[in-house]
Amino acid sequence: MKKRFGLLLLFLAAALVMPAKDYTSLDGGHLLRGFGEEKYSLSLMAEYAYNRTWEHMGNVDIYAHMPVVKNVQIDARVQYQSANVFTGALVLRPTFDLPVGQLFAETELMYKAVARNRMSDICAALSVGWRFDYVSVQIGGFTRVMDSWDRDWHSEDKYETEPFNLLYRLEVFARPQINNWNISLALSNRDDWQMERMWQPLFMLNSRYDINEHWRLHLEAMTKITGMFHLNATFYAAALRLGATYRF
């Protein structure tokens, strides 16, 4: 038994130090959505969502993945919520292939117009991450500015600012990225449409299936719990998304 255990440890150590010959990510966008980083793609998602503030909502999500030059991509996305909320985001992502995995950086600008409450929310984020076949980690920070549409610009009213919030994401994949289907579990304080304070994590389950070289199907779920780090956690929100991606 000890001999077998020693051989197992030796095998694991060799696997960790052995450099990967090629790192090929078919997922792209680091959210199981894009079709790799070298092709243009367009995604359309239909979403059902619920939260304790606005209750039931139907949302439409549109994503565009655009390679600029080798190892540099831009993602653009917009969302319409039946709760009369509109969100748009733009992401610049350079990537760096390493002997093991891939290093990436993201600069993101997200604008949310909450028309029902006549207010807006804008976030600017900067983060770095390291992605392997089975694990992706990301950490950074973001700044948020909130403003009322009814603010008197000639008064001393001030918009609200959060100078710094920690941004984090940990995602674990069931299979290597080169497979034609995959499932992942993620813990983060942001997704495509929101950036939360560090003590308000989101729990996400993502899946995708590649029909062929052009078409991909997605099924994603998210839940948000308030009071997570205050020992009185309660359910607040959930969402279910279904959609498809076409790669040109």
User: Regarding the domain with residue range 26-247, which homologous superfamily does it belong to in the CATH classification?
Assistant: monomeric porin ompg (2.40.160.40)
pLDDT (tens digit, 9 = 90+) per residue, 31-43?
Answer: 555 555 678 899 9
> pTM for this one?
0.82
pLDDT number for residue 74: 93
pLDDT number for residue 100: 83
pLDDT (tens digit, 9 = 90+) per residue, 126-166?
Answer: 999 998 889 999 999 999 999 888 877 666 677 788 999 99
Domain boundaries, the chain: 26-247
* Pairing of β 102-114 and β 119-131: antiparallel
pLDDT (tens digit, 9 = 90+) per residue, 96-132?
Answer: 888 888 899 999 999 999 998 889 999 999 999 998 8
Which own/partner pairs from 145-153 qualify as long-range (CB within 8 Å, at least 24 positions apart)?
Answer: 145/121, 146/119, 146/120, 146/121, 147/119, 147/120, 148/118, 148/119, 149/118, 149/119, 149/120, 150/118
